[in-house]
A = this chain, B = another copy of it.
């Protein structure tokens, strides 16, 4: 029987964090420790002059299916592999949200023998970054309602046009739609509102797109919380919120250093959603990695059309980042799933189904080529995969001039990712990539949307609702049209219809409305129903979590 992720994590011997920092030439006195195995890194370690010539590896994936792809595991495994072949590498990831920990069983710190440690701490509170984001977000909410109640609404805010909700890092169905301010005139002004999960907070997105603390403070001040009765935007700085919010984020802005199972450095920082936000770790963390190591392996949420596209168009342009290789993680099972094979039959060898599912992978390869990036395919191997099935993938990829490598990092750690490491090294050193974003921020809103939906999603048309058209007019008027876009759509399809698996074509993307993240610095075209606050399932994972007298946590994953 397989050991659980938590059992493997516990059996791993951790080194003191100072030893890990030493591998990055970071002095112990520069660390801000959180226990023995976690430390925050000061921003002064970011050195633009050292970043040049370093290799940035984006790990993305094919379209997610019920079978899973294992992008985090592949990212960690690849880093172990790169270190094994003598390349000083660091993996830079998002921090896990606490919400899903109590919902569905499933780790967010890698899996098997490709994990970051200390696993239980990372999954439970970690260094308090999510709590700090939550507090900064909710302080703005409190100041907003207090302004209306206690400052005679001097800003003339229309309570019906407030778009700033509250957040909680919890799967909290019951808080999605609520009425607040009840109880009479001394309790505030009743209005409809709700809670999103903290990962969906614009404060999280802003934190992860900031260059430094002052940049973050400016972004926080620019957040639009709602509109006046005259439809003028009301921003956080009008509520004098940005100073206290930034003060709350003083430590949260510092990336977190941890270690992989094999004792290599890993940096975790931030955790924005990949649908309504950019879906990757902070610019600060990525630059920290590039300042301290030679190769940075980083992951973006969901597939190349969501986290991947946003990483490349949005984060890389804001951060001045230039990736060298795009690793696309795929599994044989997921390809069969894209061919319509039901979950229960995915373990049966079926090379024909693999071939039928391959167009999905091909589209993600094409997407990376649109950005002038060299793709490398990582086949995340399961014991049930047949040699013939793997050959199907290799054959197609070779015909497209794309390297493939099998990754067995989940089972073997770095030893299982040596081939992948060499393939990535070769691609990175080839100088073949010439990263080019798909659009310039200066373009018009529709032009940016059409570029992404046609080139990356493969859409035939874009359709705008009446509301969306009105909002575009408003954005043009109030100067939000020069912001990059961050399309919110289903992760289960390249299109905006979750039922269209594999490689759909001829479809129309329907933009229903826009969210704005004027502080973080993007607008969010909404192309589907987006869940901003998950609920707990009928058997919450929380029911199985326990701790003993010695502090050993069980049932986590």
Chain B CB within 8 A of A142 CB: yes
Q: A177-B187, A178-B178, A536-B150 are in contact. Are A244 and B33 (CB under 8 A)?
A: no
Q: With A and B bound together, what is the CA distance between A556 and B246 in angstroms?
A: 13
Chain B CB within 8 A of A10 CB: no
A149 contact set on B, CB distance < 8 A: 173-174, 535
Chain B CB within 8 A of A175 CB: yes
Chain B CB within 8 A of A227 CB: no
A35 contact set on B, CB distance < 8 A: 32-34, 251
B142 touches A547 (CB 8 A): no
Q: A138-B168, A142-B102, A213-B547 are in contact. Are A542 and B240 (CB under 8 A)?
A: yes
B540 touches A143 (CB 8 A): yes
Q: A33-B34, A179-B179 are in contact. Are A143 and B212 (CB under 8 A)?
A: no
A173 touches B151 (CB 8 A): no
Chain B CB within 8 A of A241 CB: yes
B546 touches A243 (CB 8 A): yes
Chain B CB within 8 A of A352 CB: no
Q: A180-B178, A182-B178, A212-B549 are in contact. Are A538 and B150 (CB under 8 A)?
A: yes
Chain B CB within 8 A of A27 CB: no
A179 touches B182 (CB 8 A): yes
Chain B CB within 8 A of A172 CB: yes
A170 contact set on B, CB distance < 8 A: 135, 138-139, 142
Q: Give the number of chain A interface residues (Cβ < 8 Å).
A: 76
Q: With A and B bound together, what is the CA distance between A551 and B239 in angstroms?
A: 22
B128 touches A145 (CB 8 A): no
Chain B CB within 8 A of A479 CB: no
Binary CB contact string for chain A from 313 to 356 against chain B (1 if under 8 A, 0 otherwise): 00000000000000000000000000000000000000000000
Q: With A and B bound together, what is the CA distance between A125 and B244 in angstroms?
A: 13
A179 contact set on B, CB distance < 8 A: 178-179, 182
Shortest CB-to-CB span from A546 to chain B, Å, is: 3
Chain B CB within 8 A of A528 CB: no
Chain B CB within 8 A of A217 CB: yes
Which residues in window 110-125 of A have CB below 8 A to B?
Answer: 120, 124-125
B545 touches A243 (CB 8 A): yes
Nearest to A183 among chain B residues (CB) is B177
Chain B CB within 8 A of A214 CB: yes
Which residues in window 422-472 of A have CB below 8 A to B?
Answer: none
Shortest CB-to-CB span from A206 to chain B, Å, is: 15
Which residues in window 173-217 of A have CB below 8 A to B?
Answer: 173-183, 187-189, 192, 212-214, 217
Nearest to A33 among chain B residues (CB) is B33
Q: A125-B135, A135-B170, A172-B142 are in contact. Are A244 and B545 (CB under 8 A)?
A: yes
Which residues in window 10-47 of A have CB below 8 A to B?
Answer: 32-36
Between-chain CB contacts (< 8 Å), 14 pairs:
A120-B247, A141-B172, A142-B170, A142-B171, A145-B174, A150-B535, A217-B547, A240-B542, A240-B544, A243-B542, A244-B542, A247-B547, A250-B551, A250-B553
